[in-house]
Amino acid sequence: MNDLSNEPIQPSGSPSSDNGGSKPSWLTRKEYTDAAEKRKDFWIGVVLFFVLNIALVLCQWGLGFGAMTVAPNGLGSDDFSTTLTTIISWIFILLPWVINIGLIVFFAFTRSQIALGMVAGFGIALFIIICLGIVFTIWCFVALGSTN
């Protein structure tokens, strides 16, 4: 305590050696050495977001869950197949949310730039949807205005 200095504190070793090696290697935080490595992980996160979500949508469409109703008419009945269909439909509706949020949290603790890339991918997708909504709204007003 008497030895005070302005020198930065250097890490004593890898994160897995600090806790006696009890932490699995896939849970250790990645230490980025340069900006190129950060940029690479960031773009991996952006691409991962879009590829993952396109694959999830294609799986949902391929399994036909886009055509299923979430709350069928006979929800109050004791029909087992109706209840099972509703439960499976909800699982497939919530699965993309669970996977996306789970991966962002996992990568936030292990490879932070991939997590930032996934959040940026969500922002890019949101920006594209907002722009398409504006274009569609303008198109509707033009189409309605040109009828007379």
Break the chain into its structural domains and give their ranges.
35-145
Residue 5: the pLDDT is: 63
Q: Is the pTM of this model over 0.85?
A: no
Gap between the Cα atoms of 125 and 14, Å rounded? 37
Q: Is the pLDDT of residue 74 over 60?
A: no
Q: In this predicted model, what pLDDT tens digit does every residue of 99-135 receive, in sequence order?
A: 999 999 999 999 999 999 999 999 999 999 999 999 9
Gap between the Cα atoms of 76 and 5, Å rounded? 72
